[in-house]
Amino acid sequence: MITTLEKKVVNSTELIDKMISTFFINKLGKKEIKIINSLIDLGKFNFNQKVNLFCDLVHMSSINAAKFKVYTKINDEVVLNDNLLNPSYLKSLTNYFPFLVNTYLSTEEVLSLQQKITFSINLLIDDVVKLTKIHTEKSEIYYQKKVKNIFSS
C-alpha cells in the first residue's frame, strides 16, 4: 500500500534527480542528458551519489546539506519499505527523527507520532525541492581579484 506521502517522495525524487542531472550536464558542457543516464543505467551513479556530489559542488549551509542527507535516507526507506508510516518504521526513526522535529516542528502541539512524521517529512520534501531549484538555477558569479605583486618595484 503506497501512501500519499510515499507518492510525494517518489515524485519529488524524480524531480530532484532531473534537476541535479541537468545541473551536471550544464557543468560538463554537454547538450544531452544521455551521459548521466548511461552512468545510472550501468549502476555507477545512483540518486544518493548524485545528491552527495551535488552537495559537495554547490555552496550551501550545513543545515541545508543535512536536509539533503535526511531526504536521501527517507527516499531509501520508501524504496525499501512498502509502507513508510508503518509502526516498525516509525520505531526505526531514531537517527533522523530529532532532526525533523527540531527543524520543522516549532510548536508544541499535541500530535501523534505519525502526524509529526508526516508533517515534518512533507516540509522537508518541499524544502529539498526548493533548495535544489535554487542551487541548480543560480547563476554563477565570477570576479577577478586584483592581487598586488609584492615582488615588483
Domain boundaries defined on the chain: 4-137
Q: Is 132 helix (H, G, I), strand (E, B) or coil?
A: helix
Q: Which three cell numbers stand for residue 83?
A: 509502507
Q: Which three cell numbers stand for residue 13?
A: 525524487
Range list of H helices, the chain: 4-28, 34-41, 47-57, 62-80, 87-91, 97-104, 113-137
In order along its 153 residues, the chain shows pLDDT tens digits of: 457 888 899 999 999 999 998 888 787 766 566 666 666 666 667 888 889 989 998 989 999 999 999 999 888 887 777 566 666 666 566 667 788 888 888 765 757 777 888 888 899 999 999 999 999 987 555 555 555 555 544
User: Cell numbers 550544464 correspond to what residue?
Assistant: 26
pTM of the predicted structure, to 2 decimals: 0.77
What size, in residues, is the chain?
Answer: 153
